[in-house]
Amino acid sequence: MNLEGALGEARFTVTGDVGKPMEGKDLRLNVALETKSTKPLTELAGVEFEEVGPVHLKLTLIEQHGHYDFNDIQLTARPRDFDVSVSGSVKNFVLDLDGEKAQTKPATVNVKGTIGGARFSVAGDVARPMQGKDLRLKVALQTKSTRPFTELAGVEVEELGPLDVALTVIEKGGRFDLDGVNLKAWPRDADVAIKGSVKDVAGNPRLDLDVALAAKTLRQLDKTLPDAGPVSVSAKVRSRGKVVEIRDLVAKVGKSDLSGSVTVDTSGELPRVSAKLRASVIDLAELVPPADKSDTGAAAEMPRKRKIFPGDPLPLDALKKANGNIELAVDRLITPKLTLYKVNVAARLDNGNLTVKPAAHIAGGTVGATIGIDARTKPAKFTVDVDAKKVSIGALTKEIRGFETSKGLDSNLKMKLSGQGDSVRALMGGLDGDIRLEIGEGHLNNDVLDRVGAGLLTQIIGIAVPTDEKDKTTTFNCGVVRFAVKEGDAIADETLVMETDKVLLKGGGLIDLKTEDLDLGASLAARKGIRIGAGTLSSLVRVKGTLAEPQLGTDLKRMVKTGAKVGIAVATVGLSLLAESVYGYISEDDHPCQTALARQIEVTPKKDRAQSTSGEN
């Protein structure tokens, strides 16, 4: 046989021998096809397929006993501006057009080729080649970039490469498995390795993969991340049904590490995430990107915030999109300002009800809390229960500031608060509960108070340290900060106390958490043997303004008036103070802190206070 012809612009030749020409059997033919476009061929065949061209094809077709071999295949084409070449053979193929011929033994495939700059190979057996079933094919791919494949597939994903993949594709009974997966990739110069298998890819995938990643820094993976490194991550990924497990997780970034397991279950109405993680060290100072200082000038020109509690709606609907249970244990948690030890966090989310229980050792003491957010109600309910014991304020401030402002001051804090709201501002405006801070004895360093800035608390402490004293330290005996919180009003009634070896600062007042207005007052009483004179300290202290812009000053008459308006005793040491000389000796309470801790804070309902205030006006 020696034929040549054309189909539209396509040209073809067929040469060779046919042993049984009447049956079209026992043939050995050399076939060649050249065309600028596949369009005439697809139209002739009555199929719709994307136009490809130019195409050059050569092969040797051999038929014996109903089995066809396609040998010496040489194919070149240019789909979507990419050069494609294929060479190799397909043997023992039974052309069963009427469904009456049996494929007695598998067809064998052995081809290799290139797509763009990528190289690939496919080798193996296909038991039912006409249906593309019962196959076992070894596939290998090496490419510098995934771009040719994504463009051919018509999808937009980030370009990856280099990439080296080897796997075996198995089809049996309609199920596709990927076995012997061995993938190596270098996206963004990072090293990624994946080994294992994926069973039932198109049906109910079951993953059994070992995954590893290594990079010099996090920034190498994403430019928005900090320059922390080196980075290494390894884990076993397993899945059964709709449950995916990440086992034997080991991650390291610079000084930080993390290990444990994570499970994601999507079989229910809501996905559920469970995790049990632990770390020796987590260095947030290294992992959290530093604040952008380039906008400092612009920020300085912005108006000062008049409110510190934002009114923006909280993203509470996110709590209804998943359930979960997470446990995290960290031996040492490093923040930009201080270090926490033996950190434990347990979090549980159940149908919109979130409970978080953090605990840690800090500054020689312990801190524990239970935080609840129940988004099942409208508005959402919030609860906070904090219990801190023997936390040294001296050690804490030294670590934060970098120099020693005090020693000791071991403190206990108990705080129980609850409220409802869909924003922080709404929540604070209706808050209820109790705040109780006890500060133990210690020493204040007089000569460094000026170094800690002009904050309100610093100014108040400075009042208790006479500036004309030559002592380098002031003995701090005790301190108490107690507020009863009702309907967004935080009230202190002679429950703000600071006692040193020289003076006693005692007071109270009101913080309106809804408006953020504050009005606090305190008296300054000299200890025995110490005289407070007009030339040294003011005997009365008042803090007014707002939480965002508090102001410190003195105003006896206004202080007394304010105390009456809020429905509590005068926000100092009581009306008896008015009968005393503003300057001079004032009788002392031998145990002022214990008195403040035991005192019952009278909380007048907000509506009654409003009526009282309107009546006075």
Residue 170 bridge partners (DSSP) = 136, 177
Q: pLDDT value at position 445?
A: 82
Non-local CB neighbours of 455 within 8 Å, separated by 6+ positions: none
Share of the chain above pLDDT 90, in %: 52
Q: pLDDT value at position 10?
A: 85
pLDDT digits (tens, 9 = 90+) for 128-140: 888 888 999 999 9
The label of the residue with tokens 């919109």 reads: 352
Q: pLDDT value at position 260?
A: 98
Which residues of 448-539 form beta strands (DSSP E)? 473-486, 489-500, 503-512, 517-526
Residues 39, 45, 49, 53, CA torsion sign: negative
Which has more confidence, 519 or 153?
519
Average pLDDT over residues 298-319: 77
User: Would you place residue 294 in the very low, low, confident or very high pLDDT band (cuts 50, 70, 90)?
Assistant: low
pLDDT digits (tens, 9 = 90+) for 29-67: 999 999 888 887 777 777 777 778 789 999 999 998 888
CA distances from 386 to 56, 79, 425, 455, 548 (A): 77, 66, 21, 25, 24
Average pLDDT over residues 562-574: 33
Average pLDDT over residues 363-378: 96
Residue 274 bridge partners (DSSP) = 263, 325
Is 60 exceeded by the pLDDT of residue 451? Answer: no
CA–centroid distance for 292 within its chain: 19
Residues 534, 537, 543, 547, CA torsion sign: positive
Is 90 exceeded by the pLDDT of residue 565? Answer: no
The label of the residue with tokens 């993203």 reads: 315
The token pair that represents 352 in the structure block: 């919109």
The answer to whether 441 and 478 are in contact (CB under 8 A) is yes
Q: pLDDT value at position 442?
A: 92
Nearest to 309 by CA among 423, 386, 418: 423
The answer to whether 74 and 89 are in contact (CB under 8 A) is no
Is 70 exceeded by the pLDDT of residue 189? Answer: yes
Is 70 exceeded by the pLDDT of residue 610? Answer: no
User: Would you place residue 457 in the very low, low, confident or very high pLDDT band (cuts 50, 70, 90)?
Assistant: low
Q: Greatest CA span in the chain, whole angstroms? A: 132
Is 90 exceeded by the pLDDT of residue 276? Answer: yes
Is 60 exceeded by the pLDDT of residue 547? Answer: yes
Predicted TM-score of the model (pTM)? 0.77
The token pair that represents 245 in the structure block: 């497990």
The answer to whether 271 and 302 are in contact (CB under 8 A) is no
Share of the chain above pLDDT 70, in %: 81
DSSP string covering 595-614, please? HHHHPPPP---HHHHHHHHH
Radius of gyration (Cα) for the chain, nearest Å? 39
Backbone φ, ψ for residue 468 (5° rounding): -95, 5
User: Would you place residue 417 in the very low, low, confident or very high pLDDT band (cuts 50, 70, 90)?
Assistant: very high
Which residues of 201-242 form beta strands (DSSP E)? 206-215, 231-240
3-state secondary structure (DSSP) of residue 290: coil
Average pLDDT over residues 587-615: 69
Q: pLDDT value at position 528?
A: 54
CA distances from 390 to 258, 343, 608 (A): 29, 16, 39
Is 50 exceeded by the pLDDT of residue 576? Answer: no
The label of the residue with tokens 């008896």 reads: 576
The answer to whether 71 and 59 are in contact (CB under 8 A) is yes
> Which H/E stretch holds residue 61?
strand 55-64
Q: How far apart are CA 342 and CA 330, in angstroms?
A: 6
The burial of 473, by beta-carbon neighbours within 10 Å (0-12 exposed, 13-18 middle, 19 or more buried), is given as middle
What average pLDDT does the chain have? 83
User: Would you place residue 97 in the very low, low, confident or very high pLDDT band (cuts 50, 70, 90)?
Assistant: low
The burial of 380, by beta-carbon neighbours within 10 Å (0-12 exposed, 13-18 middle, 19 or more buried), is given as buried
Using alpha carbons only, give the angle 575, 576, 577 rounded to the nearest 5 degrees: 85
Mean pLDDT lowest among 20-24, 147-151, 188-192, 364-368: 147-151
Is 70 exceeded by the pLDDT of residue 616? Answer: no
- β-pairing verdict for 432-439 and 473-486: antiparallel
Nearest to 508 by CA among 522, 518, 498: 522
Question: Cα(first)–Cα(last) distance of the chain, in Å?
Answer: 118
Nearest to 92 by CA among 110, 64, 72, 69: 69
Using alpha carbons only, give the angle 209, 215, 218 rounded to the nearest 5 degrees: 110
The label of the residue with tokens 């923006």 reads: 312
Query: Other C-beta atoms within 10 Å of 330: how many?
Result: 22
Q: pLDDT value at position 96?
A: 65
Average pLDDT over residues 542-562: 67
CA–centroid distance for 175 within its chain: 37
Q: How far apart are CA 326 and CA 257, in angstroms?
A: 17
Q: pLDDT value at position 305?
A: 58
pLDDT digits (tens, 9 = 90+) for 246-265: 999 999 999 999 999 999 99
Average pLDDT over residues 548-569: 50
Most confident of 96-100, 158-162, 466-470: 158-162
Average pLDDT over residues 268-280: 96
Mean pLDDT lowest among 7-21, 94-108, 337-351, 520-534: 520-534
User: Would you place residue 402 in the very low, low, confident or very high pLDDT band (cuts 50, 70, 90)?
Assistant: confident
Q: At what angle do helices 556-565 and 606-616 cross, to 10 degrees?
A: 130
Q: pLDDT value at position 538?
A: 46
> Which H/E stretch holds residue 557?
helix 556-565
Mean pLDDT lowest among 205-214, 371-380, 564-573: 564-573
Is 80 exceeded by the pLDDT of residue 283? Answer: yes
